[in-house]
Amino acid sequence: MVARRLLLPDRVWWSAAIAASCLTCATARAAAKVDCTTEAAVLSQAQSELPRLEVASPQDRPPYCITLETIMAFAGRVQAHVAHCPNSQYAPAAVDWIKKRADYSKLFAQYRCKRTR
């Protein structure tokens, strides 16, 4: 009889643990859903603040390298966004951003830039 009483709280504990686990998983899935419109608006704002490579000079290496790195990071954000939101306004331009990222990566290596992060 004593053994049965000890098992009952264990069963209650396990049931509560399983319920909490299911709730956590459901909450995580809901949080993982991307709000494509908001993300596109954030990208649009970030794009408007991107530095222009035409203004930076390769002779002035630190600012040039930082500009390249910033644009490459933005291109990566666009690529990740389009992967989550294929119907985004950035979908048509994603290929161009991927190409820019590859081209700027070559320049980054050519001028022996080092990552800031």
Q: What is the pLDDT of residues 22-59, one digit of tens each?
A: 545 544 444 445 589 999 999 999 999 999 888 888 88
pLDDT level of residue 13 (50, 70, 90 thresholds)? very low
pTM above 0.75, yes or no: no
| Segment among 8-12, 61-65, 81-85 with least mean pLDDT | 8-12
Can you give the residue ranges of every domain in the chain?
A: 1-33, 34-117
Q: At what angle do helices 94-110 and 61-84 cross, to 10 degrees?
A: 150
